[in-house]
Amino acid sequence: MIVEQLFTGCLAEMAYFIADKGEAAIIDPLRETKPYLELLKKHRVKLKYIFLTHFHADFVSGQVDLAKATGATIVFGPNAKPEYKIKNAKDGEIFPLGDIKLKVLHTPGHTMESISIVLIDKKGKEKYVFSGDALFIGDVGRPDLAVKSDLTQADLAGHLYNSLRKKIMTLPDDIVVYPNHGAGSACGKNMSKETWDTLGHQKEVNYALRADMTKDEFIKEVTTGLKTPPQYFPKNVGMNKSVNKSIDEVVAHGMRPLSAREFKVLAEEKDVLVIDTRSKRSFTKEFIPGSWYFGIDGSFATWIGTLIKDLNQKIIFLAPRGREEEVVTRLARVGYDNALGYLKGGIRSWKAAGFKTANFDSTSAAEFAEKKGKKNLVDVRKESEYYSEHVIGAENVPLNVLPDNIAKFSPSKSYNIYCASGYRSLIACSILYANGIKKITDIRGGFKALKRTDIKVSDYVCPTTML
């Protein structure tokens, strides 16, 4: 028997590959099919089932393409009604796989079609539960992501309470919990960085599994403090219910190498966005005027989905050499299928063609701390981060709302921008610069570095109107 957890850091997402006696199943696959086809080939097994624990909101899953490539059956929960052919599993239904069994538990609450899957080994022991977004390590799924539901958050939270108590918590304490997400995902409030745990330990440490917790207490706990989910979440749900462009077609479309001149012509069109996915250091040194920074080595997909409002946005991009296909694939994972190509030869070819580059100031935290008159300091972290602790005098404009608040910045003023460690601040600086706010300084290392200086930081503060 083979059980592999396939972790994707950019989305804090875990898919699963299970195989036994020449047969395989995949749970919650990402959009690209190539990694799964390679696994099947490596282990010399045939894909029998593709399980989806629910219609995902934070990424586009690849079940349709994968089923076409392998002939596998797509399995969803009882209430799922997508536009493509599936099998709706019944609660408690058994799916044989080699000498093992996969048992479907209907565990609604995160969404109404949500399922968890229990792996029963050949001796009849319940070894693993693949809990989807019902149960995370240290948390449970949000009850506010269901699209076009007549149920309230409280209704869904009530269903989740029942699912946990009557289905998942009745499993053996030594069963291993394998969730769909970990820390960094917006599908829960406070997930652990661990990607698996035993159910027994989770009963001890997970606030939502407290033995003495009443249903009303649970509902209050899981519905309190929920922030508005990223704008692309409902759009991805819609895509996951539909038949989308083939991932191969999307990648081929986005992998067109563009000369500097072709790139410039496209960049000057109003409906085309230039994104730069290079390293922070490379972008800070020089960039194409008007480009937005989304470093491929950071939380790329999440910030693309949060800040680019139109899934049909035409995109051209710069990428580290050899990683162009990765950029297109990761755009497609969150539904951005309209990449038009990349700058062949990178920034060097742009300069060789005689086209201008731009830059803005960058300073270390230590250098900033020594400055006199530290005016117009902007903290682009989340509100919760800011209220917890921030540099005294800094004003909070969270990155997720920054594009809607450009008018609050003056082209005649200078601004110093920081986030937690330097990724979000660079995105913010790029967006501000693209919108004519050019007197900006990025504070490298962000708040983590600033705290190591003698600069004064606050304790918890109540929310105030920023800028």
CB–CB of 316/259 below 8 Å? Answer: no
d(C-alpha 142, C-alpha 130), whole Å: 17
d(C-alpha 192, C-alpha 137), whole Å: 5
Residue 342's H or E segment, with its range, is strand 339-343
Order across the sheet with 73-76: list the strands.
2-8, 13-20, 23-27, 46-51, 73-76, 87-88
**Percent above pLDDT 90 for the chain:** 88
What is the SS3 string spanning 225-269?
A: CCCCCCCCHHHHHHHHCCCCCCHHHHHHHHCCEECHHHHHHHHCC
State the pTM of this model: 0.91
- The predicted-structure confidence for 213-253, as pLDDT tens digits, reads as follows 999 999 999 999 888 888 999 999 999 999 999 999 999 99
Which of 176, 139, 145 lies closest to 16 in space, CA to CA? 176
Provide Rg for the chain, Cα atoms: 24
- The predicted-structure confidence for 18-32, as pLDDT tens digits, reads as follows 999 999 999 999 999
| CATH code for the structural domain at 361-450 | 3.40.250.10
- The predicted-structure confidence for 297-314, as pLDDT tens digits, reads as follows 988 999 999 999 999 999
Phi-psi bin for 241: left (phi > 0), alpha (psi -120 to 50), beta?
alpha
Domain limits of the chain? 2-235, 245-352, 361-450
CATH class of 2-235: alpha beta
Provide the angle, in degrees to the nearest 10, between the axes of the packed helices 324-333 and 247-254.
Answer: 130
Residue 318: how many other CB atoms lie within 10 Å: 23
- The predicted-structure confidence for 32-77, as pLDDT tens digits, reads as follows 999 999 999 999 999 999 999 999 999 999 999 999 999 999 999 9
Instruction: Give residue 187's pLDDT.
Output: 75
Task: Answer yes or no: is pLDDT of 189 > 90.
Answer: no
**Across all residues in the chain, what is the average pLDDT?**
94
pLDDT band at 463 (very low <50, low <70, confident <90, very high): low
Instruction: Give residue 228's pLDDT.
Output: 83
Same topology between domain 245-352 and domain 361-450: yes
CB–CB of 114/108 below 8 Å? Answer: yes
Instruction: Give residue 184's pLDDT.
Output: 75
Instruction: Give residue 415's pLDDT.
Output: 96
CATH 3.40.250.10 is right for the domain spanning 245-352: yes
